[in-house]
Chain A
Amino acid sequence: MRYVKLYFTCIKRSMLSRLEYKKDAIISILSFLISNACALCSIYFILQAIPTLKGYTPAEVGFFYGFSMLPIALDHLFSDEFWLVAYRRVQLGDMDRHFLRPVPVIFQMFAETFQPDGFGEIIVGVTMIVVCGLNLQVSVTFGAVFVLIIGAIFGAVIITSFKVAFSSLAFIFKRSGPLLQIVYNFTVYAKYPLAIYPQVVRFILIFILPFGLFISLPVDTLLYGTYNPYLLSLIIVGVAIAFFTLATLVWTLCARRYESTGS
Chain B
Amino acid sequence: MIQVQNLVKVFRKPVRGKGLFGMIATLFSRKYTETRAVDGVSFDIPEGEIVGYIGSNGAGKSTTIKMMCGILTPTSGKVLIDGLEPYLKRRVVAKDIGVVFGQKSQLWWDIPLVESFKVLKEIYQVSDADYGERMAFLSSVLGIDEFLTQPVRTLSLGQRMRADLAASMLHNPKILFLDEPTIGMDVLVKDKIRTAIHALNAKYHTTVVLTTHDMEDIENLCSRIIMIEKGTIIYDGPLGDIKRRFGNIKTLTLTVPPSVDPNSVPPFSNDVTMTVEDDKVLLSFDADKVILEQVVQYAFSQYHAIDMKIADISIEDVVKTILSQQEEEHAMAKKV
A contacts, CB < 8 Å to B: 2, 5-6, 9-10, 13, 16-17, 20-21, 93-94, 96-97, 99-104, 256, 258-260, 262-263
Contact = CB atoms under 8 A, between A and B. Distances in A.
Q: 4 nearest interchain CB pairs? A: A97-B106, A102-B94, A17-B110, A9-B122
A260 to B, nearest CB: 6
Contact of A17 (B71, B101, B103, B111): B111
Contacts of B90: 99
Contact of B101 (A5, A96, A102): A96
A21 B179 CA distance: 32
Contact of B104 (A16, A97, A256): A97
Contacts of B72: 258-260
Interface string B29-62: 0000000000000000000000000000010001
Contacts of B109: 17
Interface of B: 11, 58, 62, 66, 69-73, 87, 90-92, 94-95, 97, 99, 101-104, 106, 108-111, 115-116, 118-119, 122-125, 151, 179-180
B70 A10 contact: no
Contacts, number: 75
Contacts of B66: 96, 260
26 contacts: A6-B122, A10-B122, A13-B111, A13-B118, A13-B119, A16-B110, A16-B111, A17-B110, A20-B151, A93-B104, A96-B71, A96-B106, A99-B70, A99-B90, A100-B94, A100-B99, A100-B106, A101-B124, A102-B91, A103-B123, A104-B91, A256-B87, A259-B11, A259-B72, A263-B102, A263-B104
A13 B70 contact: no
Chain A CB within 10 Å, residue with most, of B94, B97, B104, B106: B104
Nearest to A9: B122
Contacts of B101: 96, 263
Contacts of A259: 11, 72
A2 B125 CA distance: 9
Contacts of A99: 70-71, 90
Contacts of B11: 259
A13 B94 contact: no
A5 B179 CA distance: 32
Contacts of B122: 5-6, 9-10
A30 B115 CA distance: 27
A199 B245 CA distance: 80
A258 B111 contact: no
A262 B94 contact: no
Most buried by A among B70, B103, B122, B151: B122
A203 to B, nearest CB: 32
B115 A13 contact: yes
A11 to B, nearest CB: 10
B106 A10 contact: no
A20 B110 contact: yes
B12 to A, nearest CB: 10
Contacts of B116: 13
B179 A256 contact: no
Given A10-B122, A99-B70, 9 more contacts: A9-B118, A99-B71, A100-B94, A100-B99, A102-B124, A103-B123, A260-B71, A260-B72, A263-B62
Contacts of B111: 13, 16-17, 20
Given A6-B122, A9-B119, A100 B70 contact: yes
Contacts of B119: 9-10, 13
Contacts of A17: 108-111
A258 B72 CA distance: 7
Nearest to A100: B99
Given A16-B111, A96-B104, A97-B104, A256 B123 contact: no
Contacts of B108: 13, 17
A224 B87 CA distance: 54
A263 B62 CA distance: 7
